[in-house]
Amino acid sequence: MTQTLERALSTTLQKRREAGLLRSLTLSPPTSTDFSSNDYLGLARNPRVHERFKAALIDASASNTDNAEILGGSTGSRLLSGNNETALNLEAFLASFHNSESALLFNSGYDANVGLLSTIPFPGCTVLYDELIHASVHDGMRRARARVELKSFAHNDVKDLSRLVWDQIARIQRGELAGGIIIVVESIYSMDGDIAPLQDIISLMDSVRNRVGDSTGGIYLIVDEAHSTGVCGKEGRGLVCKLGLEGKVFARLHTFGKAVGAHGAVILGPSLLREYLINYARPLIYSTSLPFHSLVAIKCSYKVMMEESANLQLKLQGLIRLFRQLVVSLPEGIVAVESHTAIQGIIVPGKCNQDETAIPALTRLA
């Protein structure tokens, strides 16, 4: 039988359906309990954020004091007509808030990771990444402009990372690789809520620098802070700031679509990195920029987060403790992954039929 496009698509979807893996777009009832969103602090539904946002739009429309046109859309890429003072001011604010030399906005965390990881690996370098790193990092690495070595290390295992680092350094010293090592981790992992051992990783990097200096091309750390933004550190600055490691990390990603309750993302790092991304990061260059109202929403959420972070974080920790107390009542065989962060995983054995197993389990928790 001759294969048609429609038949190929239908057959592939049917296989996914039979495996119980078919994705679909659903609507949750307004009275349902939220077990799946990333709105950890409730800022997406926070009336104070909404009030501040509306007031900011009204004020901007009336005064237009930032010399940026108030538009429904952004009109184009930031490299063309889509740049404005509101975006530049927000970047300056974010750089200061997160204690970074510079900041560059992206339309989403996915775009930011793809832009960063497809752009900065240089010819002959090695990228070492945690085996549970986010899919956007994988997509970025696969699109790298230069030919690089990609190697994963066991999740949160600094000994395994150390083994790979010294193996690569030996290869560099033998002339098998040009040099340079980039390590990529998440501060809090989206898969299971684990916290990265950032201080141990930094100690490893310091030991490398002490022994070989920059003779092997240097060693750099990138931290995806998507799931620590808002929930870690003073005023929600993230895990890197909480640990005082800003000067030890080459680049950080913070997203606004999770605890911040808005949309978009930012890459933090040296001014050199910002300039390089502006010139080579395709998701930035070829995407229409965030519109004015999105920029305002991000700033408003940050302001409320800064003012109320202590109470918001305390409430979140209380909910996490309550959840951990309740999961002990789950039926035998259903396992709650050990986690003390906002990400709480539940493992359902066998092929997961959400109608028969997962939904009743969550209903019991609700």
Q: What is the pLDDT of residues 97-118, one digit of tens each?
A: 999 999 999 999 999 999 999 9
Residue 285 has pLDDT above 50, yes or no: yes
CA 1, chain centre distance (Å): 45
Give me the pLDDT at residue 65, please: 54
Contact indicator for 193, 339 with CB cutoff of 8 Å: yes
* Two tokens, residue 128: 């070492």
Task: For residue range 286-330, list pLDDT tens digits in order.
Answer: 999 999 999 999 999 999 999 999 999 999 999 999 999 988 888
Other residues' Cβ atoms within 10 Å of the Cβ of residue 249:
25
Q: What is the DSSP letter of 196?
A: P
Cα gap 322→334, rounded to integer Å: 18
Residue 182 has pLDDT above 80, yes or no: yes
**Lowest-pLDDT range of 207-211, 281-285, 346-350:** 346-350
Residue showing tokens 């039979």: 18
* CATH architecture classification, 61-303: 3-Layer(aba) Sandwich (3.40)
What is the pLDDT averaged over residues 43-63?
Answer: 90
**Lowest-pLDDT range of 9-18, 204-213, 344-353:** 344-353
CA dihedral 26, 354, 364, 327 (to 10 degrees): -110
CA neighbours within 13 Å on the CB side: how many for 36?
A: 7
Query: 3-class SS at 244?
Result: coil
Contact indicator for 86, 296 with CB cutoff of 8 Å: yes
Give me the pLDDT at residue 27, please: 87
Query: 3-class SS at 28?
Result: coil
Say which residue, 176 or 32, is predicted with more confidence: 176
Other residues' Cβ atoms within 10 Å of the Cβ of residue 147:
11
Task: For residue range 76-100, list pLDDT tens digits in order.
Answer: 999 998 999 999 999 999 999 999 9
Confidence of residue 363 (pLDDT cuts 50, 70, 90): very low
* Two tokens, residue 279: 């010139």
Sequence-distant (≥ 6) Cβ neighbours of residue 201 within 8 angstroms: 158, 161, 183, 185, 221
Give me the pLDDT at residue 202, please: 98
Domain parsing of the chain, residue ranges? 61-303
Contact indicator for 40, 230 with CB cutoff of 8 Å: yes
* Two tokens, residue 251: 């680049």
Sequence-distant (≥ 6) Cβ neighbours of residue 94 within 8 angstroms: 100, 103, 105, 254, 266, 268, 302
Strands (E), 147-214: 149-153, 181-186
Task: For residue range 325-360, list pLDDT tens digits in order.
Answer: 988 888 888 888 889 999 998 888 766 555 555 545
Residue showing tokens 């309740």: 326
Give me the pLDDT at residue 133, please: 96
